[in-house]
Amino acid sequence: MYIESIHIKEFRIFKDLEIRFQPPENGENVNNVIAGVNGCGKTTLLETFFEYFQDNLSDSVQIKITDIPPNIEDPRLIFIPANLNFVYKPTSQFNTNYQFLNLIDENILGKTEAYIREYILSIERESHIANPKERTSLAISQFNKPFINTKLLTTLHDLDKNRFNRPVFKNIKGDLVTIDQLSDGEKQLYGRVVALIMLEPRNSMILIDEPEISLHPAWQQEIMKIYANIGKNNQFIIATHSPQIIANTPYKNLILLTQKNNRIIPVYPQHPPSGVDVNSILTEIMGADNRPKKLDALYQQYREFVENAQETSLEAQKIKAQILQQESANSIFMQEMDFLIALREEL
């Protein structure tokens, strides 16, 4: 089951908006990444999907979905919002009963901890290794495996037998910590990923708002690869501000929301950006300046002095000094200016 398109006649900030989405293929998960400037309705769009299936907004919203074959596993609609509650509350068990609508919000850390414990214990029970420590080590390695490339500084270490098998993590200093003692980024990463794994999604639509929140850029580069390996034949619809996530998304899977004539409209890139570096993504896709406007003005002024062979003047030196307060003398711009000066002197 997947969403082919949505048409919003008039709802919240949207009016006469139609967006189409990429489907999963050959059982593989697919990412649809929605980007755009603030205020263009990325989060509102995800909320609209959830509210449509929850409250039936058929008068103002039309969603075209694929037909569900009779032999398909039960699909889900899963929404992971940006503002999750990370107040820890112990949980002894979690509900695994099927339901179509799933909002990941309530007591995410407690449920994550309970799932990790049950995951490790189930792997241990299924193992034929005689040594109990080796069984536990194998189970923990399997849990940590999806997170290896994220360069996390804290990984699952063991189950604390003195605290009813509560999962404990080891940080870079070698200290043992519980899930509620993790950093904000680690809570986000473990909480969101494990919450999704718990639902075992197949043939499902998964909405994730700002998966990059509190994550180091290195983690942002890997997070969508982790999601891509959860379940099969799932359609992810992601709203993000992260250049790292955008850079790791095929351009055909990008949907850019922008404002035109007081309306929100979608733009589908017809070719890749000129580069996948942060500056190219910021300027070409997200519409942001890749450097401060004040620095751009200083560049322009200093360039004029160089082009007029006046770079040694007092005013030019003052501007150069201001530039060097923000970047090194070996920056790309300063190297370009040095090249122009050297070229002129050779002529």
User: Residue-wise over 157-189: b if at least 16 C-beta within 10 A, else e?
Assistant: bbbeeeeeebbbbebeeeeebebeebeebbbbb
| Residue 320 burial by Cβ neighbours in a 10 Å radius (0-12, 13-18, 19+) | buried
Is the predicted pLDDT of residue 31 greater than 90, yes or no? yes
Whether 271 maps to a domain, the answer reads yes
Whether 128 maps to a domain, the answer reads yes
Is the predicted pLDDT of residue 278 greater than 70, yes or no? no
Weakest-pLDDT range from 128-132, 216-220, 282-286, 314-318: 282-286
Same domain, 274 and 300: no
Rounded mean pLDDT, 25-53: 90
Domain count, the chain: 3
Whether 90 maps to a domain, the answer reads yes
Same domain, 193 and 220: no
Q: Are strands 235-239 and 176-177 parallel, antiparallel or unpaired?
A: unpaired
Same domain, 137 and 86: yes
Is the predicted pLDDT of residue 4 greater than 80, yes or no? yes
Q: Over pLDDT 70: what percentage of the chain? A: 92
Is the predicted pLDDT of residue 28 greater than 70, yes or no? yes
Whether 206 maps to a domain, the answer reads no
User: Considering 253, 271, 287, which residue would you say is the last residue of a domain?
Assistant: 287
Same domain, 279 and 177: no
Query: Which residues, 6+ apart, have CB-to-CB distance to 189 below 8 Å?
Result: 147, 150, 152, 215, 219, 223
Whether pTM > 0.95 for this model: the answer is no
Segment 60-100, tens digit of pLDDT = 999 999 877 767 778 999 999 998 878 888 887 777 788 99
Segment 127-183, tens digit of pLDDT = 889 898 899 999 999 999 988 877 788 999 999 999 889 999 999 899 999 999 998
User: Considering 254, 272, 287, which residue would you say is the last residue of a domain?
Assistant: 287
Whether 238 maps to a domain, the answer reads yes
Same domain, 276 and 298: no
Range of the domain at 115: 77-200
Whether 173 maps to a domain, the answer reads yes
Whether 205 maps to a domain, the answer reads no
Query: Which residues, 6+ apart, have CB-to-CB distance to 266 below 8 Å?
Result: 17, 18, 19, 255, 256, 257
Same domain, 62 and 83: no
User: Considering 241, 266, 287, which residue would you say is the last residue of a domain?
Assistant: 287
Residue owning tokens 């080590």: 137
Same domain, 48 and 195: no
- Position 209 scores a pLDDT of 95
Same domain, 81 and 190: yes
Same domain, 235 and 251: yes
d(CA 63, CA 237): 14
Same domain, 105 and 54: no
CATH number, domain at 218?
Answer: 3.40.50
Is the predicted pLDDT of residue 347 greater than 60, yes or no? no
Same domain, 179 and 85: yes
